[in-house]
Amino acid sequence: MKLDSWRARALIALGLGMFRLWARTLRFGVEDPEKILSASRDQPFILSVWHNRLLLLPPVFSLCFPHRRSVGLISASRDGDFVAILVERFGHGTVRGSSSRKGIIALRQLVDALAAGTNVLITPDGPRGPLYEINQGIIFVAQKSGAAIVPMHLEFANAWRLKSWDRFFVPKPFSEVRILFGAAQRVGPTAGPEEFEHERLRIQNALMKLVEEK
């Protein structure tokens, strides 16, 4: 089905309405010991969240960052088309690409967005995994932009798990959602592959510290 057909537009409108209604039933709580939300008023960040927690990010970003524009890196695949529509309908921007399609162009667009004062969101193990292993792209963006990576994580009190490669989380209606932020991580220049891998693992470990249910 073409996304510009009347059937697709009707299904998208219906799906968006159901998504908004479902999201309103959830109870959100924010845990921000490092005062990231306050700091985000003065500087843009690279927000990093694991792929299996990305479903609620549009309303979460509206809740947590109402004073700064945000853009998300969305896969250039057909599945990514629907995700991009959802993100944009919530008033956020998108950059299309992944490690396998349009990757370098997309990463440079994220660097430009940070330079313009925009938060960017990257799911560092997406869109195909391996689960909980960050790819090189987020390190590249941090080094080129000078922006800090902020580990961001969602924990669900009650959720379904899909049979996908990452066992995707879908929180059940009326359940609690905890939004957790870790300390901002700066990534400096690296002299070679060993130093680059050290930084990659350091950032990966910072993200994993927030994960309770795997």
For 186, other C-beta atoms within 10 Å of its C-beta total 11
If one counts the domains in the chain, the total is 1
Does residue 1 form part of some domain?
A: no
Q: What pLDDT is attached to residue 211?
A: 98
Which letter does DSSP use for residue 185 in this model?
Answer: B
Please, which pLDDT band fits residue 3 given cuts at 50, 70 and 90? low
CA distance 148 to 1: 40
Residue 37, domain extent: 26-208
Does residue 17 form part of some domain?
A: no
Does residue 214 form part of some domain?
A: no
Does residue 19 form part of some domain?
A: no
User: How is residue 1 written in tokens?
Assistant: 């089905």
Does residue 20 form part of some domain?
A: no
Mean pLDDT in residue range 163-176: 96
pTM greater than 0.85 (yes/no): yes
Mean pLDDT in residue range 25-44: 97
Does residue 4 form part of some domain?
A: no
Reference 166, options 204, 207, 211, 128; nearest CA is 128
User: How is residue 178 written in tokens?
Assistant: 């905890």
Q: What is the CATH number of the domain that holds 117?
A: 3.40.1130.10
Q: Which residues contact residue 10 at a Cβ distance below 8 angstroms, ignoring those fewer than 6 apart?
A: none
pLDDT at 12 over 60: yes
Does residue 132 form part of some domain?
A: yes
Q: What pLDDT is attached to residue 63?
A: 94
Q: Which residues contact residue 205 at a Cβ distance below 8 angstroms, ignoring those fewer than 6 apart?
A: none
Q: What pLDDT is attached to residue 10?
A: 78
Please, which pLDDT band fits residue 13 given cuts at 50, 70 and 90? confident
Q: What is the mean pLDDT of the chain?
A: 91
Does residue 175 form part of some domain?
A: yes
